[in-house]
């Protein structure tokens, strides 16, 4: 398999300014702060994290909708980190996005046919008749019918709109599709339809996906590899098999155990890490391990002093984590939920619900 995308030490900082005319930079939001990964053609990378962890910003940097502050993005053998608009044009043919909100990402005044044909027009592909044929073919591929060509987006349900968004992304036969929370706004039954559709399309058209979500379980069904992000940094990456079999980072454990299980007996019996509060502000992130204020396994004098680096899980081929006190067992036992050190005396164990 050939490498389609390589991201090295990607950084995106947004300035925080004060003053109307003489804008003075007073701080920086480190939205993405050192992300590394490679993605082979035909693979899916799942990127997971809460709102505000920088996953969407990372996607937008890769699609070059944002200018990265630092690092390097190599797409299809070409360094695209700082290409200009014109130079990016031919590359954009190979890279498309599907967005979260199917209500906001389709132009309400355009007909479905012209929404899907727009990328073809932008890149000057085919005659009008060719484009129309292509759009009708696409409508069928994504499970709509060619008669929908002249309808408006408001005539469709959320799931159908997401299919329109996918058809638009497919229109120019891209190599890479970045899906930014494509199913978060959908009902679970419709969510399953869209996940299955994305998988079928990948098989049929040899697509490569970056699939962003806040739900580790959704990602499980589409990803070959998974990256868990927290406050701009990856905290755990691995192949699907290794990461889900034994997640190491307490944050991955928290994300996995936060999802309700559709089985009353199993769901109520299991151990759960319920995180307190929200993701801290990336303007002034916590020192050392950024997860330490919310972590059930926090050890004072270690986690807040010494930043853990991504290290390989012993014996694993593709599974790295950044934590001083990784989870030892999965599913978790009582030990996994324990606070240690000085912090433990004053605080009740965060989210140890039995």
Partner 1 sequence: MALLEVQDLNTRFKTDDGVVQAVSGVSFDLERGKTLGVVGESGSGKSVTFLTVMGLLDPRHAEMTGSVRFDNQEILGLNTSQLRPIRGERIGMIFQDPMTSLNPVKKIGWQLEEAVLIHNDVPRSEARRRAIEVLEEVEIPKADTRIDDYAHQFSGGMRQRVMIAMALINQPELLIADEPTTALDVTTQAQILRLMEKLQNEHGMAIVMITHDLGVVAELADDVIVMYGGRIVESAQVDDLFAKPEMPYTWGLLGSLPRVDVDVERLEQIPGQPPSLLRPPKGCAFNPRCAYTFDRCREELPELRPAEGKSDHEFRCHLEEADRARIWTEKQAAMAASAESAA
- 150 in Cβ contact with 112 (< 8 Å): yes
Smallest gap from residue 140 Cβ to partner 1 (A): 15
Alpha helices in the chain (DSSP H): 55-62, 85-92, 112-122, 128-141, 158-170, 188-205, 216-220, 240-245, 250-258, 264-269, 343-346
> What is the contact mask toward partner 1 in residues 124 to 163, using x (rule: CB under 8 A)?
---------------------------------xxxx---
User: Does position 193 bind partner 1 by CB under 8 A?
Assistant: yes
How buried is 347 (Cβ within 10 angstroms: 0-12 exposed, 13-18 middle, 19+ buried)?
Answer: exposed
Q: Which stretch binds partner 1 (CB under 8 A): 36-44, 116-124, 273-281, 307-315?
A: 273-281
User: Does position 199 bind partner 1 by CB under 8 A?
Assistant: yes
Q: Which stretch binds partner 1 (CB under 8 A): 14-22, 103-111, 270-278, 303-311?
A: 270-278
User: Does position 254 bind partner 1 by CB under 8 A?
Assistant: yes
Options 209, 244, 298, 343; binder of partner 1; rule CB under 8 A:
244
Placement of tokens 């959320």 in the chain: 158
Beta bridge partners of 70: 11
Options 262, 309, 315, 346; binder of partner 1; rule CB under 8 A:
262
Closest CA to 282 of 33, 21, 22: 33
Smallest gap from residue 205 Cβ to partner 1 (A): 18
Q: Please say which residue, 188 or 309, places its beta carbon nearer to partner 1.
A: 188
Options 16, 26, 65, 266; binder of partner 1; rule CB under 8 A:
266
Q: Please say which residue, 36 or 202, places its beta carbon nearer to partner 1.
A: 202
- 203 in Cβ contact with 292 (< 8 Å): no
Q: Which stretch binds partner 1 (CB under 8 A): 116-124, 133-141, 146-154, 195-203?
A: 195-203
Smallest gap from residue 49 Cβ to partner 1 (A): 9
* Alpha carbon of residue 72 to chain centroid: 19
User: Does position 203 bind partner 1 by CB under 8 A?
Assistant: no
* DSSP helix/strand/coil, 36: strand
User: Does position 315 bind partner 1 by CB under 8 A?
Assistant: no
Q: Which stretch binds partner 1 (CB under 8 A): 118-126, 134-142, 204-212, 265-273?
A: 265-273
User: Does position 9 bind partner 1 by CB under 8 A?
Assistant: no
Options 277, 346, 348, 354; binder of partner 1; rule CB under 8 A:
277
Which long-range contacts link 299-308 to residues 24+ away (Cβ below 8 Å)?
299/324, 299/325, 299/340, 299/341, 299/343, 300/341, 300/342, 300/343, 301/341, 301/342, 302/341
User: Does position 189 bind partner 1 by CB under 8 A?
Assistant: yes
Q: How many CA atoms lie within 13 A of 317 on its CB side?
A: 4
- 115 in Cβ contact with 131 (< 8 Å): no
Beta bridge partners of 84: none
Instruction: Please give the residue ranges that form the binding site for partner 1 (CB under 8 A).
Output: 50-51, 157-160, 187-193, 195-196, 199, 214-218, 220-221, 240, 244, 254-268, 272, 274-278, 351, 353
């Amino acid at each position: 398999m050939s490498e389609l995308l390589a991201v090295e030490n990607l950084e995106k900082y947004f300035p925080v300014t004060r003053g109307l005319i003489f804008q003075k930079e007073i701080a920086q939001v480190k939205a993405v702060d050192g992300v590394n990964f490679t993605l082979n053609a035909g693979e899916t990378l799942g990127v997971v994290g809460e709102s505000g962890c920088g996953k969407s910003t990372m996607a937008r940097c890769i699609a070059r909708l944002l200018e990265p502050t630092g690092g390097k993005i190599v797409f299809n053998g070409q360094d695209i980190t700082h290409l200009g608009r014109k130079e990016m044009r031919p590359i954009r043919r190979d890279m498309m996005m599907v967005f979260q909100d199917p209500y906001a990402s389709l132009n309400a005044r355009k007909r479905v046919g012209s929404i899907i044909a727009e990328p073809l027009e932008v890149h000057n592909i085919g005659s009008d008749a060719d484009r129309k044929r292509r759009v009708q073919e696409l409508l069928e591929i994504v499970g709509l019918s060619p008669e929908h060509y002249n309808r408006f987006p408001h005539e469709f349900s959320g799931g159908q709109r997401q299919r329109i968004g996918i058809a638009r992304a497919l229109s120019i036969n891209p190599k890479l599709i970045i899906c930014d929370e494509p199913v978060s706004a959908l009902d679970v039954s419709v969510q399953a339809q869209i996940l299955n559709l994305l998988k079928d399309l990948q098989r049929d058209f040899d697509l490569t996906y970056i699939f962003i979500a806040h739900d580790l379980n959704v990602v499980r069904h589409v990803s070959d590899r998974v990256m868990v992000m927290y406050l701009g940094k990856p905290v755990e990456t691995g192949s699907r098999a290794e990461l889900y079999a034994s997640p190491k980072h307490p944050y991955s454990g928290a994300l996995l155990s936060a999802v309700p299980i559709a089985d009353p007996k199993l769901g109520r019996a299991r151990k759960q890490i319920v995180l307190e509060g929200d993701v801290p502000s990336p303007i002034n992130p916590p020192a050392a391990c950024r997860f330490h204020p919310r972590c059930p396994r926090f050890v004072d004098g270690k986690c807040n002093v010494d930043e853990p680096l991504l290290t390989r899980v012993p014996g694993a081929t593709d599974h790295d984590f950044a934590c001083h006190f990784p989870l030892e067992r999965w599913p978790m036992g009582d030990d996994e939920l324990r606070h240690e050190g000085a912090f433990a005396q004053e605080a009740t164990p965060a989210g140890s619900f039995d």
